Structure formats: C-alpha cells, structure tokens
Amino acid sequence: MFGLLHFLFLRALPAIAGDSDLLISFKNSLANPSLLSDWNHAKGVCDFRGVACKEGYVSSLTIRELPLGADFSSVSAHILSLPNLETLSLHSTNLSGSISAPAKCTVQLKKLDLSSNDLRGSVSDVASLAVSCSSLQSLNLSNNSIGQAFYRSYPFLLNLKMLDLSYNKIATNKDLQWLFSQLGLFQHLDLSHNNIPGSLSNLKYLMMWQNNLNGEIPGKLSSLRSLRNLVLDYNNLTGTIPDGLVNCRSLNWISLASNRLTGSIPNWIGLSVSVIDLSNNRLSGPIPEWGSLPTFPGYVFDNNSGLCGLPLPPCNGGSPSKEDVPQPPSTNHESSQGRWIAIGLLFSFFFIIGFVIGLLIK
C-alpha cells in the first residue's frame, strides 16, 4: 500500500510537470503537432506515447518511423535536457538540421539513436555532441549526412564505447585518423559505406586490445606501410597471421596474444620485430629460426600447444638439451658454494707453488 502511495506521489511532483512541459514544447515545435496528440497536460507524462519512466521520471523515449520533421535544435533544447533521460531513440523520424553540442545535455543519457534521418555536420561536431552528453556510451548516427568538411578541434572522447557512422558522407583521412586515434575506447566502431579516399599510409600505431573483435586479421593492413605497432591482444580473432604484413616495413612491435589464431608463425616476423607476444593462441609448427625469434623468452609463445622449437622444446618431441636451450645462470646455493671452494683451492695451489719457488731461489 505504501509503495502505491509513493508511486502516486511521485507522479504528482512538480518535477514531473517539468518533464511534461519539455515534451509538450517539443511537440509544439513540430510542423504537425497532431502526430503526438496524446502528449498533453490531461495525461500523466509517463503515459505519453513512447515514454518510459523510473520512479515517475522520464528515463526513456522511443519514437521510430514517425515523420516528425523536427530540427535537431528542437531535440537538443527540449528532449536532451530531460534531467533523468537515459535512452533516446528517434530512428527514422525525418529529423534534419546540423548536429551540434546541446547547451544542456542530461548527465544520465547513455544511449542515443538518431539513425536514418537527414542530419548534417562534421565528425568534430559528432565528437562535441558525445562529449557534451558526458555519460554517453552508445551513439548511432548511421544513414545520415555526416561528413561535412568543417573542422573544429576534436575533443577527446571519454565514455563512448559504441559509435555507428555507417552510411554517411565521411570523405577525409583527417576524420578517419582522428577516429583511429580513439580506437582504444571503442568496443564497436562502424564506418562502412562512406567515401573515405586513399589509404592510411601514415598510420603508425594500431592498438585495439581487449575489445570484441572477431573474424580474421584483415589482409589490407599490409597497405599500412608506416605501421610500427600492431596490438590486437585479448580479442576473438581467428585465422592465420597474414603474410602480407611483411610489407609493413616499419613494423617492430606485434602483439596478438589471447586470441584464437591458427596456422604457423610466418618467417618474416623474426626479421622485423623487436617486441612480440603470440601467447594463448592455437598456433602450431616450428618457430622459425630466422632472425631474433629463438632469442625471445618462451612465455611470448606459451599456451600454443602445437608450437615447438627454440625457445620452446624441440620439435622431435624430446626434452631440450643444454645445447638446445640457453641455460640461465644457476641460482642453486650448493653450486655457488662449490664454485667458491674450487676457486679457493686453485688460489691455494698457486700460493704454495709460489712459496716453494721462493724458497728454492733463496
């Protein structure tokens, strides 16, 4: 009974009237307000079409495939300022105008879907929007007209994990290189079906560890001639290590640990890299004797049950001999003590010989 009274009390709070006023203001900005006819003061805001509430406050708004025809500035002014809004989806609602950072964006917003509209703006505008909504984790702007060649400074994204910019008009390497610089943040980045020209010939560092990447390592990475560091650890990558990476002449750090890679280790790796980690995969065959590979510590190849050869046990199935594997200095106390005894005896022997020779000379 108390819970019911508490719920009814929350629905009557003045703050709820604030939510209602914001949504009705948005409705009145439309060319055809009758599309949202049930958004009116005669109903509780939690009963508005597409609205979901938590404890009487608007926490989610979902309107899909309804031709609202609103300008983004109206969305920004009235909807993004709802203080408890966590999720907003306005997919395919005929939104237009330029993406821009809202004057006030609720700190609660975590998911924003504005896909399949006619929104314009630059990638830097998108970044500014994401930063203004400081808790935003998922932003879907696919199938719009993003890609306008107008640049502000690119802010650093803090919390965004999913960004979908597919089916837009992104057409510069500058945008792409900035997006790649943020790759460590993303679990999902979709840039398919844009107009990005040329290649990323100047990209030097590609680091995407601990994401949800799957499938094979793209052979097209071989076009990144300036690539120095390739770090893809802790993903779900399958297939083999691409032979085409031999064309990345500057590559000296390759870390592919904790994936599901199969096949053998290409010969070229030992000739180019100075830092490597291929542990926790499904690689097999002999470790190439070319270059520096046999000198790496064994742990960089650990947990690949099919690998063999230096610095791992030999491929004939036997145990490595002292000649096969470099032996670390002994830390055994008895061995150390024995060496000192031998040195002492040898010193004593030469001392006695010198003493006897001295007596004979006298």
> CATH number for the domain including 146?
3.80.10.10
Residue 333 is assigned to a structural domain of this protein: no
What Å distances lie between residue 49 and 33, 72, 100, CA to CA?
13, 20, 26
Determine the pLDDT at residue 90: 97
- The answer to whether 273 touches 294, Cβ cutoff 8 Å, is no
The answer to whether residues 171 and 277 belong to one domain is no
CA–CA separation, 330 and 87 (whole Å): 62
Residue 325 is assigned to a structural domain of this protein: no
The answer to whether residues 95 and 168 belong to one domain is yes
The answer to whether residues 40 and 153 belong to one domain is yes
Determine the pLDDT at residue 235: 87
Determine the pLDDT at residue 120: 94
The answer to whether residues 145 and 212 belong to one domain is no
Q: For residue 311, say if its preceding peptide bond is cis, omega within 30 degrees of 0.
A: yes
The answer to whether residues 111 and 186 belong to one domain is yes
The residue from 198, 227, 250 where one domain ends is 198
CA–CA separation, 142 and 115 (whole Å): 5
The answer to whether residues 183 and 133 belong to one domain is yes
Determine the pLDDT at residue 24: 95
Give the chain's domain count.
Answer: 2
Closest CA to 246 of 217, 230, 216, 266: 266
Closest CA to 126 of 79, 78, 189: 189
Determine the structural domain holding residue 66 and report its residue range. Answer: 19-198
- The answer to whether 111 touches 134, Cβ cutoff 8 Å, is no
The residue from 198, 216, 245 where one domain ends is 198
The answer to whether residues 40 and 178 belong to one domain is yes
Q: What is the pTM of this model?
A: 0.60
Residue 46 is assigned to a structural domain of this protein: yes
The answer to whether residues 238 and 186 belong to one domain is no
Determine the pLDDT at residue 317: 58
Count of Cβ atoms closer than 10 Å to residue 104 Cβ: 11
The answer to whether residues 212 and 228 belong to one domain is yes
Determine the pLDDT at residue 49: 96
CA–CA separation, 1 and 3 (whole Å): 5
The answer to whether residues 45 and 183 belong to one domain is yes
The answer to whether residues 190 and 206 belong to one domain is no
Q: For the chain, which ranges sit under pLDDT 50?
A: 1-15, 318-362
